[in-house]
Amino acid sequence: MGTKRGIPQHLPKIATGIQGFDELSQGGLPRSRISLLKGGPGSGKTVFALQSLANAARERQEAGIFVAFEESPRQILANAAGFDWDLPGLLKSKLFFMDANLSPDVVQSGEFDLRGLLAMLKAKKEEIGARWIVFDGIDVLLTLPPQPEG
């Protein structure tokens, strides 16, 4: 919370469309900021992110990108099929899934370069006018073995 002459200022929020969360957080996620969802496997991080993207696309016509580091986009869409979010319909105009699954062969040979992924992400963001970007399973990058120098 910022201050102006010692008076706390309201942090602008953007609704996720998840009613209980938006009420509890007094408006949603901080607007134009990075938010980290942390929790163990099965705690609902992916579902929360997908529902937020779907709600933004459907309710405010805001495009979004979902970058999947662990599961394939096909697996994620299959897992979300039980929800009434119409992800396949939104994929045609407002949502893009990027498969960032890291092949063990690529990681072991040292070919992975985050700059290439970020360049592709930037180009897609500009192409579709994405306002939301989700990195799902980004902790995979933090557990990569160090690459030998040379």
Spatial distance between the Cα atoms of 84 and 72, rounded to a whole number of angstroms: 20
Query: What pLDDT score does 60 carry?
Result: 94
Per-residue tokens: 43: 């705690």
Spatial distance between the Cα atoms of 133 and 150, rounded to a whole number of angstroms: 34
- pTM as predicted: 0.82
If you compute the radius of gyration of the chain from its CA atoms, what whole number of angstroms results? 17
Give the start-to-end residue ranges of the domains of the chain. Answer: 12-31+43-142
* pLDDT tens column, 115-125: 888 999 999 99
Low-confidence residues of the chain: pLDDT under 70: 1-9, 103-113, 142-150
Contact 106, 37 (CB under 8 A): no
Query: What pLDDT score does 10 carry?
Result: 79
- Which residue intervals of the chain are DSSP H helices? 19-24, 45-60, 73-80, 87-91, 104-109, 114-128, 139-142
The topology under which CATH files domain 12-31+43-142 is: Rossmann fold (3.40.50)
